[in-house]
Amino acid sequence: MSNHLNFYIDGKWVAPVKPATLDVIDPSTEEAYATISVGSGADVDKAVAAARAAFTSFSQTTREERLALLNKVLEIYNRRYEDVAQAISQEMGAPITWAREAQAAAGQGHLASTIKALEEYEFSHQRGGTMVVKEPIGVCALITPWNWPLNQIVCKVAPAIAAGCTVVLKPSEIAPISGIVFAEIMDEAGVPKGVFNLVNGNGPDVGQVMAEHPDVDMVSFTGSTRAGILVAKAAADTVKRVAQELGGKSANIILPDADFEHAVREGVNACFGNTGQSCDAPTRMLVPASRHDEALEVAKAAAEAHKTGDPRSTETQLGPVVSQMQYDKIQKLIETGISEGAKLVTGGTGRPEGLNRGYYIRPTVFGHVTPDMTIAREEIFGPVLSVISYQDEDDAVRIANDTVYGLAAYIQSQNIENARRVASKMRAGSVYLNYPDWDTHAPFGGYKQSGNGREYADWGIHDFLEIKGIVGYAG
């Protein structure tokens, strides 16, 4: 039986206090394919009360008990893996191969890395006569986005539970089905009642209520910087901890000694991954001014090689973006790029040829973009790349750091010492040298308006802990 119309509160599936529903749209067809319930403050109150009651005992569980629980969750996740991938593919339009190999794999990876981190984590150490103890912070409100649904759910839920916290989760109402599947996984794994709770709904009616709730001790939010500011303001009156992973406008500096054709081609691929809907996507490609036109030729060919189409096909590389709102925003920003004088190398407005419905975007590359242009400054969140010239290394660093964001930066060089030197100058929480493999044990989070706090593995566990000093412990 479907749990789409229920919430998961205090260890059971329950109907909302005030019945209200929302259609879930398949972005490849623009048609509703499921209906969920959306909650209210009354549902949040029930979920928070359940989490508060459960915290007393769950906070006292041993590391071994929490490890056993997380290992059971991973076991069931592995068994439901295809259900997770199919849900993500349909709710956000991710090509099914990408949904399997990246989206569903992200949740699996975070569970595994959190388990490993918990096995090794030091919750106490003695400093002179004082014992320093790290203890669970309490009831945590987790608000997650639609673009990497299970990635963000698991990299919040898993470390919170590893720390001994209890949680109330609000997935994005745009892509909520994978969150319901995850709640089913948690239920089957035997999570103690009240430790994990799920309430679906929108930001104002559920998310804001969670953030301002007096019995919530911490909010962990991933989403836009605009929404993150609202969450922080809502949380301020109760002085709760707020961890935020927000927007980005990441630069990809291709240094003069890089393998140029490879660096440009892979930069396009990295920008277009997840149909451009990643907060850390390298959307600003910085190339030496003398090789700008050469970069555009390579980028054009790389972009036009991407197959856009039905996410159910294993041949599709780019699916639709998630919603009409996102589609309209991206179309407007492409129009702005053209009107402000950037060179449209390939792509542009409208749907790709042969597609007459669905929120599909033409893979787009702009050249001769200047740092003051809108497309060089605003987060587009679609398959749109801006190529920008720089004069020398100092100029590249200046352009890369000239943004309100600071989530990620990318450096390409055949000389690792050069890459490391430039990386040290980046004002960003993550710097990726020569397109490395994804590392779920590396800290993830941003500088400046890209947020605060860090996620993944032990970094995530740390964010859900309070620090207590017991002075005179030595006796």
pTM (global) more than 0.85: yes
**Distance from CA of residue 330 to its chain's centroid?**
19
**124, 132 in Cβ contact below 8 A?**
yes
In this prediction, residue 2 carries a pLDDT of 87
The pLDDT tens digits for 295-312 are 999 999 999 999 999 999
Residues of the chain with pLDDT under 70: 1
Give the integer Cα–Cα distance in Å for 122 and 125.
7
Each domain of the chain, given as residue ranges in start order, spans 7-246+450-470, 251-440
In this prediction, residue 420 carries a pLDDT of 98
Fold of the domain spanning 251-440 = Aldehyde Dehydrogenase; Chain A, domain 2 (3.40.309)
Fold of the domain spanning 7-246+450-470 = Aldehyde Dehydrogenase; Chain A, domain 1 (3.40.605)
Secondary structure of the chain in the HEC alphabet? CCCCCCEEECCEEECCCCCCEEEEEECCCCEEEEEEECCCHHHHHHHHHHHHHHHHHHCCCCHHHHHHHHHHHHHHHHHCHHHHHHHHHHHHCCCHHHHHHHHHHHHHHHHHHHHHHHHHCCCEEEECCEEEEEEECCEEEEECCCCCHHHHHHHHHHHHHHHCCEEEEECCCCCCHHHHHHHHHHHHCCCCCCCEEECCCCHHHHHHHHHHCCCCCEEEEECCHHHHHHHHHHHHCCCCEEEEECCCCCEEEECCCCCHHHHHHHHHHHHHHHHHCCCCCCCEEEEEHHHHHHHHHHHHHHHHCCCECCCCCCCCCECCCCCHHHHHHHHHHHHHHHHCCCEEEEEECCCCCCCCCCCCCEEEEEEEECCCCHHHHCCCCCCEEEEEEECCHHHHHHHHHCCCEECEEEEECCCHHHHHHHHCCCCCCEEEECCCCCCCCCCECCEECCEECCECHHHHHHHCEEEEEECCCCC
Fold match between 7-246+450-470 and 251-440?
no
Give the integer Cα–Cα distance in Å for 198 and 44.
9
Active-site residue numbers?
245, 279
